[in-house]
């Protein structure tokens, strides 16, 4: 799972929770472990867009979840509430993006408006932040939209308006919601995994390609045949035996195709 967070104070609870380590030599402060990456963008749409683009470049595949987390004002929810943005709009020019809401979670969802300066009037019962629209618009260029989500914690409301930014308070607000955030992240990761190539196929494919030279077209053919072999219930042992008997890419593709041919009629 991957995070774009505007401020160090908002990021600290996640860095601690996931045990992330600082990576050196990167244009944005970046923290990671084997399964998570977090980039601190700074405040505002331009910094956020740049940091999101940078993080997208670090991803090993397009099958990754990406969350924009941070504090936000809200016209209706109480201070400290965690919510999912279901509509992320930009004031000027007027535009909206709609992160698909497919996860079964008890968290409230809300509209969120990204502005270039902090909102002090809270004119509508929605959230107000300074990054989310930029985050979504860049992340949607590369990742499946369902995998791109925005989570915000209410830091200021009409009853408790923002006076000055207080880093300690921001950190505390995120800390209080870390377990709920983690729960959401687990659900999102589960959805991401649904589309992952089965690991046994991925490793067999990797092994096969390391033993023989495959052209780009042959690699695609091989991937497809492996997938067909799986959907047509060809046992892995039979696949491996066939691969061991073949001496080059062409032979492998031909042999696999022959093997699958009688199975291709629907059972």
Partner 1 sequence: MTEFIYFEEQIEDHPRAIEIFRRYPRATRIPCGHYKEIFNPNGQNFRLQKKKPALILAQNRGKLVHSVPSTYGIGGKRNFYFSHMLNCLYDCRYCFLQGMYPSAHYLLFINFEDFFREIGVVSEQNPNDGSWFFSGYDCDSLALENLTGFVASALPFFANRSNAFLELRTKSINLKTLAKTEPLPNVVTAFSFTPAEISESLEKGVPSVHARIRAMNKLAEQGWLIGLRLDPILDCQDFDKRYGKLIDDLFSKLPENAVHSVSLGPFRLPDPFFKRMERLYPEEALFAGDFEKRGRSVSYGKEVERERIGICRDLVLRHMPKEKLFICEPMEE
The footprint of partner 1 (CB under 8 A) covers: 86-87, 96, 98, 100-102, 104, 109, 111, 140-141, 143-146, 191, 194-195, 197-198, 227-228, 230-232, 260-261, 263-267
Find out whether 41 and 28 touch, Cβ atoms under 8 Å: yes
- 163 vs 266 by CB, closer to partner 1: 266
| Residue 267 CB contacts under 8 Å (≥ 6 apart), including other chains | none
What does 231-262 look like in DSSP terms, one character per residue?
A: HTT--HHHHHHHHHH--SHHHHHHHHHHHHGG
Residue closer to partner 1 (CB basis): 142 or 165: 142
- Name which of 102 and 167 has its Cβ closer to partner 1: 102
Smallest separation (angstroms) from partner 1 to the CB of 87: 5
State how far the alpha carbon of 34 is from the alpha carbons of 2, 4, 8, 59, 200, in Å.
Answer: 11, 17, 21, 12, 20
Q: How far is CA 173 from CA 30, 123, 178, 243, in A?
A: 21, 23, 9, 55
Q: What CA–CA distance (Å, rounded) separates 4 from 51? A: 7
Least gap, CB of 89 to partner 1 (angstroms): 10
DSSP state of 140: T
- Residues 137, 94, 85, 8: is their CA dihedral positive or negative? positive
Q: How far is the CB of 116 from partner 1 (least distance, A)?
A: 21
* Cβ-based nearer residue to partner 1, 194 or 237: 194
Rounded to a whole number of angstroms, the minimum distance from the CB of residue 228 to partner 1 is 4
Q: How far is the CB of 119 from partner 1 (least distance, A)?
A: 19
CA 264/CA 233 separation, integer angstroms = 10
Nearer of residues 143 and 253 to partner 1, judged by Cβ: 143
Closer residue to partner 1 in complex, CB, 103/162: 103
Least distance CB 102 / partner 1 (angstroms): 5
Q: In angstroms, rounded to a whole number, what is the distance separating the alpha carbons of residues 234 and 226?
A: 9
Q: What angle do CA 62, 64, 67 make, to 5 degrees?
A: 125
Output the smallest distance, CB 125 to partner 1, in A: 12
Q: Which is nearer to partner 1, 29 or 140 (by Cβ)?
A: 140
């Amino acid at each position: 799972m991957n995070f774009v967070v505007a401020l160090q104070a908002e990021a600290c609870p996640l860095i601690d929770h996931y045990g992330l380590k600082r990576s050196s030599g990167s244009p944005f402060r970046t923290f990671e472990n084997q399964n998570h990456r977090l980039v601190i963008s700074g405040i505002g749409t331009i910094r956020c867009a740049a940091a999101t683009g940078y993080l997208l470049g670090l991803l090993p595949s397009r099958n990754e979840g990406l969350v924009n987390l941070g504090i936000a004002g809200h016209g209706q929810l109480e201070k400290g509430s965690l919510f999912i943005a279901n509509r992320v709009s930009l004031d000027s020019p007027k535009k909206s993006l709609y992160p698909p809401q497919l996860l079964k979670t008890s968290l409230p969802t809300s509209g969120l408006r990204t502005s270039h300066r902090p909102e002090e009037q809270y004119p509508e019962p929605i959230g107000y932040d300074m990054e989310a629209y930029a985050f979504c618009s860049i992340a949607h260029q590369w990742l499946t939209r369902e995998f791109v989500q925005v989570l915000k914690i209410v830091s200021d409301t009409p009853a408790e308006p923002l006076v000055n930014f207080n880093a300690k308070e921001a950190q505390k607000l995120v800390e209080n919601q870390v377990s709920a955030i983690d729960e959401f992240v687990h659900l999102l990761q589960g959805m991401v995994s649904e589309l992952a190539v089965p690991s046994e196929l991925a490793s067999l494919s990797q092994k096969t390609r390391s033993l023989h030279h495959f052209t780009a077209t042959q690699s695609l053919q091989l991937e497809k045949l492996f997938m067909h072999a799986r959907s047509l219930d060809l046992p892995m042992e039979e696949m491996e035996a066939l691969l061991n008997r073949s001496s080059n890419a062409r032979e492998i593709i031909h042999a696999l195709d022959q093997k699958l041919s009688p199975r291709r009629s629907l059972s």
